[in-house]
Structure 1
């Protein structure tokens, strides 16, 4: 794990000239290229989701390998640079990539296109009962785990801390390292964003008594006003073990993204394969329970790939995404 100051620094990119493994070859189905799905580090739902999609595509005769990464920003760079790369991406990070903000290394990503919605990412804080922490303002001056360096969790922790008028010491690492760090005393609290209930938080709570809370409605209002890709969300009691009150936080959707140069027929075929299963939780995996075509309207950040857009037209789904420049 790494400890750093509150200030964000540019994201890591792929090494120059790096090519996704398998991305240049033809898959089992000769009509479609082999794909590389960039996900995240060990313990992340992105990895679970990528593996589930690769298995589904394999049943359709399309080869897809699952590649580890540091998360959304590196995935977006992989997709930007390689025609046959797919990526799991948080829309907040996609916004940074499209705009070329410092969080995205100052590089405007112009080739990234949306395919289909994955699930909503909601952000929460977990702390051990022994810490005495029960509210966001109490994180002032504390060591807070925020996942991979320069990832979306860190970006939105910075925004929430600024909105709350506090300063935190950020501790970086993989989701698995975050859980171990909280349990082992390497941090005072763990801030995570993922599908709810967040697996790394559940794992920590299963091993030690703890509490889960959010930034609170006032901070959420400030953050969502500043960052329009986020929206308020409320987690009902019982979302986490021992939770008796609602948790007020913010969230945004994650999407599978592709390069605009991915063949249109391939983009159409894989989007259709994913979004026409009878029961996503059963036929893909529990992590994909909310992967449904109607949720495509939640993307207001990225243009859709023409192949995916064709599927939504046929399905009668209205989209709110920007048009390609």
Structure 2
């Protein structure tokens, strides 16, 4: 009897779910979609293609990831509707809204709306222990600092951050592995990373030599939080063998974006597929460990898509002001 009661209950729940789904008006839904990611081999491509395939399977429509130039281009593609969805960081998002996206200078890309939080890109600073540089204040005037590949998020924002903190430097660019080698050879004084941690180049340096992982002071962190679209971040001591305790830093959040004119019911269902099962998302990419409903508040730049805002209000208790919702 108990088994029959449980079976009956499950049948009612299943019928209820099917009934609810059948009453979602899909008449204005697109028949296919693309997600703007970045180059193959990077986190964006793996993460974006993964959730695109998941959504396509769950909602029964055609969809997939598309190779792009990354956050700046994704803002442009989603704004124009060439891509239904995309992925961006808060910095490029802010620049695109202000009309300073280098892809289309002067165009305010306000048709790209926030959809759901993805994960953080931390900013971290490393120097050789032999340099004596243990803090940002220790960086000497005219120091040669490697900021990563030209045009990257790191190269776009870290130099400005250093200037905000009063550091005088010479700018150097290159791949992270190459910059790590230059630091070890004494050709650079500091390398400044905006990348997921642990940064492989830093981990490799730890094996080969003694390094200092430089954290920001509370005052320095506060200055950066005020001046840039970044959030508080703590690099866990377990991240590097060099660290003895957590290190204070900042990070720039990555958010999935949707064209603001997409049907609210469609975007709400997409968000539900991604946000309702984090274990499934982590199976797609470990970075999705931060793809959690409570991180909705990390968006302080983009207006929310109405469908996404509705989902987070209903499922995460999100207190999203009306003026931060597109059309509100």
TM-score (norm: length of structure 1): 0.76
How many angstroms apart in 1 are the aligned matches of 2:190 and 2:165? 16
Distance in 2 between the 1:148 and 1:267 partners? 34
RMSD: 3.1
Q: Which moved more, 1:212-221 or 1:112-121?
A: 212-221
Gaps of 5+ in 1: 1-29
Cα distance in 2 between the residues matched to 1:199 and 1:271: 32
CA shift for structure 1 position 194: 3.4
* Distance (whole Å) between structure 2 residues aligned to residue 142 and residue 154 of structure 1: 16
1:143 is aligned to 144
Match of 2:181 in 1: 183
- Conservation of the 8 A alpha-carbon contact between 1:73 and 1:151: no
Aligned position for 1:250: 250
Instruction: State the alpha-carbon separation in 1 of the partners of residues 275 and 130 from structure 2.
Output: 44
Q: What corresponds to 1:117 in structure 2?
A: 117
Question: Quick one: distance in 2 between partners of 1:87 and 1:242?
Answer: 36
Counterpart in the other structure of 1:152:
153
Aligned to 2:325: 323
| Larger gyration radius, structure 1 or structure 2 | 2
Aligned pairs for 1:285-296 (under 5 A) are: 285-296=285-296
Distance in 1 (CA, whole Å) between partners of 2:177 and 2:99 is: 31
CA contact (8 A) 1:179 1:204 kept: no
Q: Name the counterpart of 1:35.
A: 34
CA distance in 1, matches of 2:72, 2:190: 24
CA distance in 1 between partners of 2:202 and 2:102 (Å): 25
**How far, CA to CA, are the matches of 2:318 and 2:217 in structure 1?**
32
- 1:264, 1:306 within 8 Å by CA — same for their partners in 2? yes
| Map of 2:279 onto structure 1 | 279
User: Which residue matches 1:10?
Assistant: none
Question: Do 1:38 and 1:85's aligned partners in 2 also have CA atoms closer than 8 Å?
Answer: no
How far has the Cα of 1:278 moved from its partner? 4.9
- Secondary structure of 1:192's counterpart equals strand
How many residue pairs end up in the alignment? 290
Match of 2:51 among 53, 56, 60: 53
1:324/1:203 CA distance change after superposition, 3 Å: farther
The alpha-carbon deviation at position 280 of structure 1 amounts to: 4.8
Task: Judge conservation of contact 1:38–1:86 (CA < 8 Å) in 2.
Answer: no
- How far 1:277 sits from its partner (Å)? 1.1
- Does the CA-based 8 Å contact 1:118-1:290 persist in structure 2? yes
Q: Which residue of 1 aligns with 2:76?
A: 77
More helix by share: 2
Structure 2 counterpart of 1:308: 308
In structure 2, do the counterparts of structure 1 residues 238 and 82 end up closer, same or farther at CA, with 3 Å as the change threshold?
Answer: same
Contact kept? 2:129, 2:210, Cα under 8 Å? yes
- Superposed CA deviations along residues 33-61 of structure 1, whole A, max 9, x for unmatched, are 1313223575x433342243244335435
Conserved 8 A contact 1:56-1:284: no
Q: Is the 8 A contact 1:83 1:260 kept in 2?
A: no
Counterpart of 2:86 in structure 1 is 87
Alignment of 1:226 with 2:227, yes or no, is: yes
CA contact (8 A) 1:46 1:88 kept: yes
Show the counterpart of 1:165: 166
Map residues 11-22 of structure 1 onto 2, 5 A cutoff: none
- Shift in alpha-carbon separation, 1:316–1:178, aligned structure 2, 3 A: closer
Take 1:324 and 1:200, find their aligned partners in 2: how far apart are those partners?
41
Question: 1:176-195 CA deviation, whole Å, 9 max, x = no partner?
Answer: x2222322456443222234
> What is the rounded CA distance, in whole Å, between the counterparts of 2:158 and 2:294 in structure 1?
29
> Residues 37 and 88 of structure 1 are in contact (CA less than 8 Å); yes or no, is this contact kept in structure 2?
yes
Give the 3 Å change call, closer, same or farther, for CA 167–32 of structure 1 in structure 2: farther
